[in-house]
Structure 1
């Protein structure tokens, strides 16, 4: 158990440092560019791993409540340190954004990094609270409070990460001012559809799947579902709706813009789903 947590605590920061070092030496990028892209690479890697695990679990469980798969608890333990790492990675993105905007004094020394923390927390309060909630509530709920039941639902929850690679790619394209390209528009459509299917429709589907299992109307499921499930859905689903609204608004702005050459890199306001958030992308 502790070995898996330790492995995750080493793997995600280690891959970040390796990617950053590789990008700096092979591509000749600055520390800031390498750090930001590495953050998104780690987010995409974690998303692909989680989605793969989710597919395996969901396809293996015939009984959505009683069937078990060993990958469920194993990946929860392994991936939990990712959320702690990602808070620090988001802070690095924010810190480098200050440097890019001309606040060079914000990038000198440990003291300056500490001074940037309040601004980071104000700018990224939703993402920070989301990550803290994942560790403080979802970790014990998924690992302990389930009491060995519902591995299928946990596997489906892992599939929410399918939208993350397209979100990360969109941010990289904006970072390098490629938001006017066809690739960015195609990726925007993929991101919009994947986020809607994998995150917005996710929670209604979970209730629907349980209603079929229990042969009860969907509207009665919240009355019989464990309180932890209802609380988690009540706190996480509105965030997905809010972030989807940002994506949709940005997509409408992107596809209705007449000028092919945008004046600033904020054509598509991407959601802060793992990694650097919207504010870090468009410089607000």
Structure 2
């Protein structure tokens, strides 16, 4: 637990500092704000690649992704915690440099703007750090808190990762005066193909979450006591 936590605390801020320093040397004409913005995106991309790679390793190593356990799934959570803290600071840093010259910066105003513009992402990070991680580490799968957490996960996943796609089609239809069913035939074919490739794994992962939830809620009472 402590080792991946320590590595994450060194890796993400260190990578951010290294990227910023490298960009300042490689692109001296760029402003510090530009270097900071690009560095935060590079670190986020690296984290996304690491998370995706970890997921692929876990899936390929488990014969049953619903019931099996893999050490990487547990350890990567602790490696991810420092990233959430770093990312919150990096977002605030970007907002600070976007505010303009040092003389015109009002810390309280900048902080309010930061909270206003990033409230969804901040809520996401806080919930993961303060709710999802502790609940997942408790391993008390038959407690009410664990079940509530599972329901929230299913709900947010369904609305934010699956219904997002028909919502995009519906929004485009509203702008163009089309019905939802007319939109696929009125947009470029490659857009439909790209969306299909994007939504397919989301549906697959959602089905796995549903299977896990069904197994959890249908568990016999004997297991609950154990």
If the length of structure 2 is used for normalisation, what is the TM-score? 0.64
3-state DSSP of counterpart to 1:62: coil
1:9 aligns with 2:9: yes
2:217 to 221, 224, 235: 224
| Superposition map of 1:1-284 within 5 A | 1-28=1-28, 29-99=30-100, 105-107=103-105, 112-145=106-139, 193=195, 196-197=198-199, 202=202, 204-209=203-208, 221=214, 224=217
Change (3 A) 1:46 1:223: closer
Change (3 A) 1:2 1:132: same
Q: Deviations over 1:58-109 (max 9, x none)?
A: 121112333221111111111111011101111112122222xxx65344xx
Bigger Rg, which one? 2
| Equivalent pair of 2:8/2:83 in contact (CA under 8 Å) | yes
RMSD: 3.4
The runs of at least 4 consecutive aligned structure 1 residues that moved more than 4 Å come to none
Q: Paired residue for 1:186?
A: none
Structure 2 unaligned runs (5+)?
142-156, 162-190, 220-226
| Equivalent pair of 1:8/1:81 in contact (CA under 8 Å) | yes
| Equivalent pair of 2:66/2:208 in contact (CA under 8 Å) | no
- Structure 1 residue 196: deviation in Å? 4.5
Aligned pair count reads 172
* Alpha-carbon distance between aligned partners in 1 of 2:218 and 2:111, rounded to the nearest angstrom: 39
Change (3 A) 1:194 1:133: farther
Change (3 A) 1:76 1:223: closer
- Structure 1 residue 143: deviation in Å? 2.6
Q: Deviations over 1:150-204 (max 9, x none)?
A: xxxxxxxxxx9xx9xxxxxxxxxxxxxxxxxxxxxxxxx69x7499438xx63x5
* Alpha-carbon distance between aligned partners in 2 of 1:77 and 1:194, rounded to the nearest angstrom: 33
- Structure 1 residue 208: deviation in Å? 2.2
Higher RCO (CA < 8 A, seq sep 6+): 1
* Alpha-carbon distance between aligned partners in 2 of 1:223 and 1:117, rounded to the nearest angstrom: 42
